[in-house]
Amino acid sequence: MKPTLEFIEETHSLRKDYRNISRIFSYGRPALSENETYYVERFVKNPHLMRLGMVEDEFIYKKKVGGNLFLQIGKNPKVLFSCHTDTVDSRNIDWYAGRKKEIMLDINDMRIKKKDTSTPCLGADDGTGIWLCWELIKAGVEGLYIFHRAEEVGGVGSSYIANNNSEELEKYDFAVAFDRKDINSIITQQVGQICASQAFVDSLAEQLDMGFRADPGGSFTDTANYTDYISECTNLSVGYYNAHSGNEEQDLKFVREFRDALIKVNWNKLVAEREPGVLLPERVSQYTTGGGYGSYYYDDTFGRAQGISSSTSTSYNRFGRQRNQAKKEMNNKEFLDGYDNYYERYMTYVVAEYNEMLDEETRGLMPNIEESRETGMDDEINIKVREIHEGNPLDSNFVYDDWENFFP
């Protein structure tokens, strides 16, 4: 069976997204560590985002300078998008500038993992949030994007913003963080208080159309510090599991679908119902223990919180997909090398079957497929095809530090 053009395009896109996300995860970034500073300076404060208008505030943590970063897309956006640049990686490790972890993709469940689970966390909390913000910026989704500092040490960066820039916050109706585990939560409570209304949840869930629902089990992320100034302050599931541990994983398939759904949302049509600064009665007696990592979900049909036992919680958080069979795991290099071999064979097929779709210049560079087959030169065909595509702005070598390609 011959693969279709749609299939190769999707496979190519998958590989690109995996490589970019794993690149983010590979840097351990305790708050204002040398490696976080290195990462922020090299990737977040890049020339393209700076030219788009990214600015930095004067936040200082423990006498270390490292401000929150802001980028506004659009003239008068009503939504604030939130992520944070630090991770909970152990401070006992020397996170010198440029130090990396080994990241891999488990092709059995399409989850990104660390190769060595005994070492600190993967960093999907909140590397995935950074990636999603970049993807929305790339797509031109209007909003104020805040790359917060020092979230994992108590939301110190966002506290600084709330205390020093509240007038700016009051311009927005929605504060949406990409910093939640699992795949279906729209957080309605943080630190035990209502932060988002059911009307908001319903309006967002309908547009996302991915099975999202109200979840009062939130612990804390930066948007919790904005509830006095912004109507709807939430945190959305981005598909990671086992946060803050060596077994942390990121569902690659989910986050790619989630990215596409977020880009399609009409943020101006969402409902803002909660009154900022008003502490509403809690829907459940208190937010869940363990940082909201799993004891309750809210079933609005019956108007009550549904408890989940700790034994069920693990299965629930993994969607009941506990796999006992042995898994074949590939590290980063093996996955990419395997894809390269497939990609070369596929492009040979494209040249043969879709020659009429190629422009004249490209067609002139392509080898004669039939002649090469007769002379047994298939290896030469693969090499030539690969050389042609290495200069393509959308090729598989694309990474986030190549900003000319990512932000055209």
For the chain, domains (ranges, CATH) are 26-317 (3.40.630.10), 331-406 (no CATH)
pLDDT at 368 over 50: no
Pairwise CA distance, residues 280 & 267, whole Å: 24
The answer to whether 305 touches 284, Cβ cutoff 8 Å, is yes
Q: What's the rounded mean pLDDT across residues 194-218?
A: 96
pLDDT tens string 295-328: 332 333 323 333 322 222 222 222 222 233 333 4
Quick one: what percent of the chain has pLDDT higher than 70?
Answer: 67
Pairwise CA distance, residues 192 & 284, whole Å: 8
pLDDT tens string 270-287: 999 999 987 654 443 233
If one compares 117 and 338, the residue with the highest pLDDT of the two is 117
Beta strands in 149-278 (DSSP E): 174-181, 185-187, 189-190, 193-194, 213-215, 232-241, 249-251
